[in-house]
Amino acid sequence: METSTYDVVVIGAGPVGENVADRIVQGGLSAAIVERELVGGECSYWACMPTKALLRSAAALRTARQLPGAREAVTGGLDAAAVLRRRDAFASNWKDDGQASWLESVGVPLYRGHGRIVAARVVEVTGLDGTTTTLTARHAVVVATGSGALVPDIEGLREASPWTSREAVSASEVPRRLAIIGGGVVASEMATAFTDLGSSVTMLARDGVLHLAEPFVGERVVESLRDKGVSVRIGAEAGSVKRDDDGTVSITLTDGEQIDADELLVAIGRVPNTQDIGLDSVGLKPGDWLTVDDTMRVVGQDGGWLYAAGDVNRRVLLTHQGKYQARAVGDVIVARAKGEAVEDGRWGRHVATADERAVPQVVFTDPEIASVGLTAAAAEAAGMRIRVVDYDLAAVAGSALHSDGYRGQARMVVHEDRKVIAGVTLVGPDVAELLHAATIAVVGEVPLDRLWHAVPAFPTVSEVWLRLLEAYGR
Ligand SMILES: Cc1cc2nc3c(=O)[nH]c(=O)nc-3n(C[C@H](O)[C@H](O)[C@H](O)COP(=O)(O)OP(=O)(O)OC[C@H]3O[C@@H](n4cnc5c(N)ncnc54)[C@H](O)[C@@H]3O)c2cc1C
Ligand SMILES: NC(=O)c1ccc[n+]([C@@H]2O[C@H](COP(=O)([O-])OP(=O)(O)OC[C@H]3O[C@@H](n4cnc5c(N)ncnc54)[C@H](O)[C@@H]3O)[C@@H](O)[C@H]2O)c1
């Protein structure tokens, strides 16, 4: 059995684990990383990158079709096979050579295999060939094992071999009929992608579509999906599932109605990858999310050497927030190891304050949804006195120029006692790239009085910022 010692051992080489290890090394300590599948994690091969590749071509085609002069040049429909090939390239053909050599280039040894904590600061790696390696950490172990799809206990569901996001995202063929259980982000993006690729899609959205966002978000997305021919069934709940010998999946709803499809995607949330990482050896419960303090140190575990970052700590299940946590956790481990001051006050270097109230997210549906901070409902629930300002995003010159028939909506939620922005939601074609201005305003807690001096260039869609301020009043 091989044994090695490093300052820090990271379990999981997804986007978060990679960034933790990089920060550790940049801080002058040594780090090793353990990965049981592909370096790059869910995001690179089965989530962010390939999903956006699946969605992008149809979005570009839509815009071209809304522009006289360009429209006439579009002579055919979407080429699904070409879209899938481009998706394959964005998933690096499910090979991680590029990311593995990046780890090597930054000086982080990679141990391929399943990592399991066996004692304080000790991680055992079971290699793909069954050999074991013991890694001892001088200072810290960081769990960055991510999450997997949640498959609920619906009668017959598992036996019917449903798709999770992994199978949907890596599909080599477009099913004729696709049913989806769920109404969240994965369900909405995959309904958009597969209807554009040619599937007949039925969405069983028990709790509504994107129901935690501002109300107009779900309304616009449902309207657009229905316009494309998607059957969006709000309130519908799957009671049982059966796959017939001919491959047809039959879903019986709780009201008795039956829906047939060729594939069934289950997209109702995630579970943490903590079932088999040795949590019991340190007094924690396998299968639980790892609760952390503001510096990502795991709560309920003695010794202060165990950290968790990214999806596995359930703070925010997004790549960019996980990588933000990774920078904080890498730096705080270095600071503690060197006896340097820990900056763990609000907005300090070693905490992920933005996770609380300033998380940006783009949902790549048609229309796109870009949001940051709190919705009006969430702000009120947090006890804020707010004022909501809405503006028609189509009513600015930049939107009219973007494409004919541009439709959109903007909402700014103002924290009235502080006169700063608590949240922004934008809905419309290509609003993704407008989001960072909103994020800066929210994170910077920029007073509205000062925002009047941030003049949007004419004629851009960003002019909506001026319109929102005018609607609010000076
Ligand atoms: C369909 C889909 C689309 C998404 N799109 C976006 C998007 O557009 N933008 C966005 O910001 N987020 C998106 N997300 C969320 C994003 O994928 C996750 O937030 C992100 O991947 C989390 O990174 P992570 O490093 O914490 O975990 P992961 O990416 O899950 O990586 C964890 C790694 O740990 C490894 N691992 C687990 N257990 C062990 C073990 N015991 N030993 C060794 N290795 C182990 C896994 O193999 C994996 O490589 C999407 C998610 C899904 C499902
Ligand atoms: N563009 C992006 O940023 C992006 C894209 C995809 C995924 N993600 C991330 O991945 C994570 C997982 O996405 P997701 O869509 O699986 O989860 P989600 O939490 O976004 O949505 C799950 C949905 O399923 C519903 N639901 C829960 N249990 C159900 C049941 N038994 N039957 C029917 N519906 C049920 C919920 O009400 C919710 O609407 C999200 O947290 C998201 O942040 C991000």
What are the CA-CA distances from residue 244 to residues 160, 175, 263, 299, 330 (Å)? 9, 16, 12, 47, 50
Ligand 1 within 6 A of CB of 34: yes
Order of strands, sheet of 409-415, starting from the edge strand that comes earlier in the sequence: 360-363, 368-373, 420-428, 409-415, 386-392
Q: Is the pLDDT of residue 1 over 80?
A: no
Residue 2 pLDDT: 86
For residue 163, what pLDDT band results from cuts at 50, 70 and 90?
A: very high
Contact 265, 271 (CB under 8 A): no
Residue 212 has pLDDT above 90, yes or no: yes
- Residue 224 pLDDT more than 90? yes
Task: Collapse the DSSP code of 325 into the 3-class scheme (helix H, G, I; strand E, B; otherwise coil) and give the result.
Answer: helix
For position 302, what pLDDT does the model report? Answer: 87
CATH number listed for the domain at residues 158-268: 3.50.50.60
pLDDT at 235 over 80: yes
Instruction: Pull the structure tokens for residue 128.
Output: 């793909």
3-class SS shares of the chain: helix, strand, coil, % to 5? 35, 25, 40
Domain boundaries, the chain: 2-45+91-148+271-354, 158-268, 367-472
Measured between alpha carbons, how far is 22 from 333 in angstroms, rounded to an integer? Answer: 12
Q: Average pLDDT, stretch 275-294? A: 97
Record the pTM.
0.98
Give the strand order in the sheet containing 238-243.
238-243, 249-253, 258-261
Cβ burial, residue 255 (10 Å; 0-12/13-18/19+): exposed
Report which ligand 1 atom has the smallest distance to the Cα of 37. 47
Residue 472 has pLDDT above 90, yes or no: yes
- Cα(419) to ligand 2 centroid in Å equals 33
> How many angstroms separate the alpha carbon of residue 188 from the centre of ligand 2?
9
For ligand 1, atom 12, the nearest C-alpha belongs to: 318
**464 exposure class (CB count in 10 Å sphere: 0-12, 13-18, 19+):** buried
Which tens digit of pLDDT belongs to each residue from 87-108? Answer: 999 999 999 999 999 999 999 9
Whole-number Å distance between alpha carbons of 263 and 249: 6
Going from the Cα of 41 to the center of ligand 1, the distance in angstroms, rounded, reads 5
Is 3.30.390.30 the CATH number for 367-472? yes
* Number of other residues whose CB lies within 10 A of the CB of residue 51: 24
- If you average pLDDT over residues 16-29, what whole number do you get? 98
Chain position carrying tokens 């990965």: 35
- Percentage of the chain modeled with pLDDT above 70: 100
CATH topology of domain 2-45+91-148+271-354: FAD/NAD(P)-binding domain (3.50.50)
Q: pLDDT at position 378, please?
A: 98
Q: For ligand 2, what atom is nearest to the CA of residue 363?
A: 1
Q: Which atom of ligand 1 is nearest to the CA of 321?
A: 11
Q: Looking at per-residue confidence, does 197 or 301 come out higher?
A: 197
Check residue 106 and give its pLDDT: 97
Q: Which ligand is nearest to the CA of 235?
A: 2
**Measured in angstroms, how far is the CA atom of residue 184 from the centroid of ligand 2?**
4
- Do 158-268 and 367-472 fold alike per CATH? no
Residues 421-463 have pLDDT tens digits of: 999 999 999 999 999 999 999 999 999 999 999 999 999 999 9
pLDDT at 219: 98
CA of 247 to the centre of ligand 1 (A): 30
Residue pLDDT, tens place only, 185-199: 999 999 999 999 999
The closest-lying atom of ligand 1 relative to the alpha carbon of residue 40 is: 49
User: What spatial distance separates the first Cα and last Cα of the chain, rounded to whole Å?
Assistant: 70
Over residues 303-356, the pLDDT tens digits come to: 999 999 999 999 999 999 999 999 999 999 999 999 999 999 999 999 999 999
Q: Is the pLDDT of residue 170 over 90?
A: yes
At 382-430, the pLDDT tens digits run 999 999 999 999 999 999 999 999 999 999 999 999 999 999 999 999 9
What integer best gives the mean pLDDT of the chain? 97
Residue 258's H or E segment, with its range, is strand 258-261
Q: Is the CB of 112 under 6 A from ligand 1?
A: no
Q: Which of 314, 305, 310, 345 is nearest to 325 (CA)?
A: 310
From the CA of 261, how far away is ligand 1's center (Å)? 28
297, pLDDT greater than 90: yes
